[in-house]
Amino acid sequence: MDGGGGLRLNMNGLDYLILALYFITVLGVGFAARRAIRTSVDFFLSGRSLPAWVTGLAFVSANLGALEIIGMAANGAQYGVMTVHYYWIGAVPAMVFLGIVMMPFYYGSKVRSVPEYLRLRFNRPTHLLNALSFAVAQVLIAGVNLYALALVMQALLGWPLWTAIVVGAAIVLAYITIGGLSGAIYNEVLQFFVILAGLIPVTVIGLVKVGGVNGLMDAVRDSKLGEAGLHAWQDTGGTANPLGAQWLGIVFGLGFVLSFGYWTTNFAEVQRALSAKNMSAARRTPIIAAYPKLFIPLVTVIPGLVALVTVKGLGADTGDLQYNNAIPLLMRDLLPNGVLGVAVTGLLASFMAGMAANVSGFNTVFTYDIWQAYIRRDRPDDYYVRVGRWATVAAVVIGIGTAFIAAGFSNIMNYIQALFSVFNAPLFATFIIGMFWKRMSALAGFWSLLLGTLVSLSLYLLYKGGVIDFNSDLEESFWGAGLAFVTAIVVAAIITPLTAPKRDEELRGLVYGIGGVDLKGDVIAGDAAWYRSPVLLGVIAVALAALFYIPVF
């Protein structure tokens, strides 16, 4: 099959009708959610009133942005089956850990954001540093989602990139400004099903075209990836594998530092669990999300492999044949009208879900942790709702600018992982030590976070400047994350003995082993059922992740 002829999709009236109905529904959900907004907690945290299945699906949907759909399919085409590491070792264990171990501290302490937890555990400088770095990271990542959304609209409608970016931004802006976090969350639940409805036909028709699973495996063996493209762990004793990474980098860099850093401290995700109606629902939120996460490689990695073996010339540095275009190229080549409309709607839904998570995380942290904490204190509640709405507008406008930064990367997954290694890895180290070591002082928290971030950023800049060499961008991200983590631990170990710790009563409910976390106080009827146990659900999810590796070992 020829990859030429551009990316323009042959949409007809039925496809556009499906797309228009989706946009009308999304805005309708925003207006419906608006009726429930009376206070800032309603706007930023859905009034802490949502059931676990809603927050669980929103939790996984918030992650199903450009990074996931476009990025993971690009990785499937570029690195083969090794891409499953991002799910089975690089997501599920961390999601379970968040639900069982960390959510009791987040939810029980009644914090409104992740940076606010750092203020209570350490001090205001640590709080401000994290609030500012989180705000920067969110607008950079929102730009990635917006750029990917614009790529698809450009392919589909033939619009110039900047027009597509502005229109995509306007739609997300409308439903978050109107409906707050509830508008984002209920749309994310809808988007979860729309995304699957869009990706499943691409996967099934793609597999039929290449002769089923066996036909795909034979074709991958004959491709530039070869036999190595079909295995997850083979040849990871060294770096002679498609990912160019050793098992230690995969297990420690990705499986521990990057994934735990992302899933347990990224407020764009944690915010969904904080909006749950009680402690049990909050703990189950990320664990419920882990179950769909186990199966998502079926609709991202497999289409990536299908694109690799059916689209001639895929993998160019520029133009339509970049790895990022694996899914849009398959949609162009495989899908009949009607189904094409559903698939395009699913893709656009995924980018909007991802961007909405970034924007709703940004507006909460900006309002509570920067504006209210340091600029305008003690104002009426409706004042902060207005600030949150203006912060939403600002985030989207800045996101339009950062979308053009993302446009400079041929594989946006590499760019995202670089951002995570700089922003999330040192934050996770500071968090995990502070949560389990009560002696860690406030000054140690600040310097751990700052120096860990600077070390990871310096390594990235040295790599980009050609001073240090790595096998791939992703290998640099693994090392950057690992070094940031180790730096934060070493700094904490050096500074803590030299400085005064906080008193136990100040740390109650914030640090493991001191007490103050009530797991049962807000239990409602049905929470005690065995099948709702966070620990049991979590153990099953991790066991399934291990079992899924067996066929592709």
Report the distance separating Cα 30 and Cα 443, nearest Å.
42
Per-residue pLDDT, averaged over 176-202, amounts to 85
Indicate whether 527 pLDDT > 80: no
- What is the gyration radius of the CA atoms in the chain, in angstroms? 22
Report the distance separating Cα 277 and Cα 48, nearest Å.
5
pLDDT for 66: 62
C-alpha 338: how far from its chain's center? 30
**Selection from 290, 245, 243, 252 nearest residue 94 by Cα:** 290
**Selection from 1, 18, 2 nearest residue 341 by Cα:** 18
Band the pLDDT of 242: cuts 50, 70, 90: confident
User: How many CA atoms are closer than 13 Å to the CA of 194, on its beta-carbon side?
Assistant: 28
Residues with Cβ < 8 Å from 254, sequence gap 6 or more?
Answer: 85, 86, 89, 90, 245, 478, 481
Report the percent of the chain where pLDDT is more than 90: 35
Query: Measured between alpha carbons, how far is residue 306 from residues 84, 301, 366, 480, 538 in Å?
Result: 15, 9, 42, 32, 32
pLDDT for 239: 79
Higher pLDDT, 187 or 5: 187
Indicate whether 352 pLDDT > 90: no
Q: Contact 154/164 with Cβ under 8 angstroms? A: yes
Q: What is the pLDDT of residues 473-508, one digit of tens each?
A: 878 888 898 899 999 999 999 999 999 999 888 888
Indicate whether 1 pLDDT > 80: no
pLDDT for 4: 40
Give the 3-state DSSP-derived string for 43-109, with helices as H, strands as E and coil as C. Answer: HHHHHHCECHHHHHHHHHHHHCCHHHHHHHHHHHHHHHHHHHHHHHCCCHHHHHHHHHHHHHHHHHC
Looking up tokens 């085409």 gives 77
Q: What is the pLDDT of residues 281-304, one digit of tens each?
A: 999 999 999 999 999 999 999 999
User: How many CA atoms are closer than 13 Å to the CA of 301, on its beta-carbon side?
Assistant: 24
pLDDT for 142: 86
Q: Contact 71/413 with Cβ under 8 angstroms? A: yes
Per-residue pLDDT, averaged over 35-49, amounts to 81
Per-residue pLDDT, averaged over 37-66, amounts to 85
Report the distance separating Cα 499 and Cα 492, nearest Å.
10
Q: Contact 62/91 with Cβ under 8 angstroms? A: no
pLDDT for 253: 78
Lowest mean pLDDT among 68-77, 488-497, 534-543: 68-77
The token duo for 209 is 């075209």
Higher pLDDT, 155 or 358: 358
Higher pLDDT, 65 or 496: 496
Lowest mean pLDDT among 180-189, 296-305, 432-441: 180-189
Mean predicted lDDT score pLDDT of the chain: 87
User: How many CA atoms are closer than 13 Å to the CA of 77, on its beta-carbon side?
Assistant: 29
**Selection from 307, 317, 298 nearest residue 414 by Cα:** 317
pLDDT for 516: 66
Per-residue pLDDT, averaged over 366-383, amounts to 92
pTM: 0.87
pLDDT for 3: 39
Lowest mean pLDDT among 54-63, 232-241, 294-303, 513-522: 513-522
